[in-house]
Structure 1
Amino acid sequence: MLGARSPAKHHSPRSDEEAPTPLTRERVADYLRGRGYQFLVDDDGDLTGTWDGNRFWFLLLGEHEEILQVRGRWQRQLPLERRRAVALAINDWNRERIWPKVYVREEDGLLALYSEVSADLEQGATDLQVAQLVACGLGTGVQMFSALDALIPLDDAQPPGTPND
């Protein structure tokens, strides 16, 4: 019959596909354990550990703890007078890359730099999705902190490309 539509096909998930389930700290911890990573639970109940000397937290945020955030803090702090140079460096990073979001905060009279990868998992997530988000947060955070180490030398070090006297 002209103009008649055939019934929509109902696609059921293949039996080997995992259905999304609610996000939990235990699922994040299972991923970290499965990778052999060392971590602990802090006083707030958050998972935390260090990678390449930088502190990372695996936070469940939101009213129903449906947002997974991997937050990293660079192991170094900088004097306040370096704010402009740091702002330019992290602005370049944020403009040229999707992950992680990078920002600077003043803490105890010094500058602290943070990385964040966040995802709203209100509808749940598969273990593979949780693994990809955690790996993305850690991998891009460590990469960014490593880039900062190269861009911002220690105060007593020569900047990269400076000839030796």
Structure 2
Amino acid sequence: MTAPRTPGWLSRVLGERSPEPAPQRRVPLQARPTPLTRDRVASSLSSRGYHYRVDEDGDLTGVWNDSRFWFLLLGEQREILQVRGRWHRQLPVDSRRAVTLALNDWNRERIWPKLYLREEEGQLAVYSEVSTDLEHGVTDEQLDQLVSCGLGTGVQSFASFDSLLPPSV
């Protein structure tokens, strides 16, 4: 039978000798965060069997459920990963008020993705964004999760809008 243990703070007050601290566990090298790079994002996409290409700006891009997505590295040190999607449908400019209300509802009720409108060539385009500051690096597992989150929530948001709006809008 072991003696009851005195809480650590009480042991210090009473001047009792505390047991030896447990040895610190070293984090395996592969689990340590490393800098974000375009090659690492490409590797994450490839490991999932996703098809993508490098566009004229040097950004990774591909199409999921008919909508274009980009995997952008932003910031002074290219430390911010942004997964940006553009919905495959365009909307008439005169529907701006109704679409803005729908986007506001989405953004108010969900954490990801942020949705917004842009006017392009006389039509409205809906965009999704998930951005993460990775200044201190990212593990492969974390990067896979962020890519999955950006794509998954973007595709879900666009599917939601597809179901809300009639095909003729």
Q: TM-score, normalised by structure 1?
A: 0.87
1:10-159 equivalent positions in 2, closer than 5 A: 11-15=24-28, 18-155=31-168
Q: Distance in 2 between matches of 1:55 and 1:142?
A: 10
Q: Distance in 2 between matches of 1:91 and 1:10?
A: 51
What root-mean-square deviation, in Å, do the aligned CA atoms of Structure 1 and Structure 2 show? Answer: 2.0
Aligned-partner residue type, residue 112 of structure 1 = A
What is residue 3 of structure 2 aligned with on the other side? none
Q: Percentage identity across aligned positions?
A: 62
Which blocks of at least 5 consecutive residues in structure 1 are unaligned?
Answer: 157-165
What is residue 6 of structure 2 aligned with on the other side? none
Which blocks of at least 5 consecutive residues in structure 2 are unaligned?
Answer: 1-10
Structure number with greater Rg is: 2
Q: TM-score, normalised by structure 2?
A: 0.85
How many matched pairs? Answer: 156
Higher fraction of helix = 2
Q: Distance in 2 between matches of 1:8 and 1:122?
A: 32
